[in-house]
Amino acid sequence: MNKNIMLAGVGGQGLVLATKIISEAAFRAGFDVKTNDVIGLSQRGGRVWGSVRIGEKIYSPNIPPKEGDILIGLEPLEAYRWIHLMKDGGHIILNTREVYPTPVLLEQEEYPYEEIERLKDRYNLVEVDAVEEARKAGNIKAANTVLIGMLAKLLTIPNNIWEEIIRENVPAKAIDVNVEAFYRGYNFA
């Protein structure tokens, strides 16, 4: 399995932990993994992104243009910003909860609703209100675990490994909720 996975969101959404869980699960499953995340703007709710490259032998965490297999959008606009990395026909897992950037809030720019909608024309797009699915699991803070569950369905990593990594990386009081959120994502229609 060789997969190039891009994650995109805004500061405070938990992208670093999501990247860590994905990369640790792949490593524990026996793959070479290289990962990268850029979080400098996260304190201001700015854009953040990360990449996880999985395979037999990986030399760089950077995904070349048009070689992305899967894009996990923690926020729709931030996912849209990284489309240039995606292969035509690649998979996009998109959380539909919007977090408007400052230029949109100040009415200097418009949120690109139509452009995001057109992603369905070129990619295998699955949209989910991950916050709502996490609420159903017991805590909205498990939204990224819903997205990780959806990702797991596209990878050949056994679910028991995902569960182990989730248990090791979330607070003890949040383990059951996160495992439930993972399976809500895995079984999402």
Q: Which domains does the chain have, with CATH numbers?
A: 3-186 (3.40.920.10)
**SS3 sequence of 78-141:** HHHCCHHHEEEEEEEEEECCCCCCHHHHCCCCCCCHHHHHHHHHCCEEEEECHHHHHHHHCCHH
Strands of the sheet containing 124-128, edge to edge, are 32-38, 47-55, 3-10, 68-73, 86-95, 124-128
Q: How far apart are CA 110 and CA 131, in angstroms?
A: 23
pLDDT at 150: 98
Mean pLDDT of 41-66: 87
Q: What are the tens digits of pLDDT across the range 143-181?
A: 999 999 999 999 999 999 999 999 999 999 999 999 999
Q: What are the tens digits of pLDDT across the range 68-109?
A: 999 999 999 999 999 999 999 999 999 999 988 777 888 888
Main-chain dihedrals φ then ψ at residue 171, nearest 5 degrees: -60, 150
Q: pTM for this structure?
A: 0.94
pLDDT at 11: 83
Mean pLDDT of 7-27: 94
- Whether the pLDDT of residue 67 is over 90: the answer is yes
Q: What are the tens digits of pLDDT across the range 28-49?
A: 999 999 999 876 555 556 778 9
Mean pLDDT of 53-74: 97
Residue 146 has which token pair? 């819903």
Q: How far apart are CA 163 and CA 48, in angstroms?
A: 25
**Cα separations in angstroms, 39 against 2, 12, 66, 169, 182:** 25, 10, 23, 19, 24
pLDDT at 38: 77
pLDDT at 107: 87
Per-residue confidence at 183, pLDDT binned at 50, 70, 90?
very high
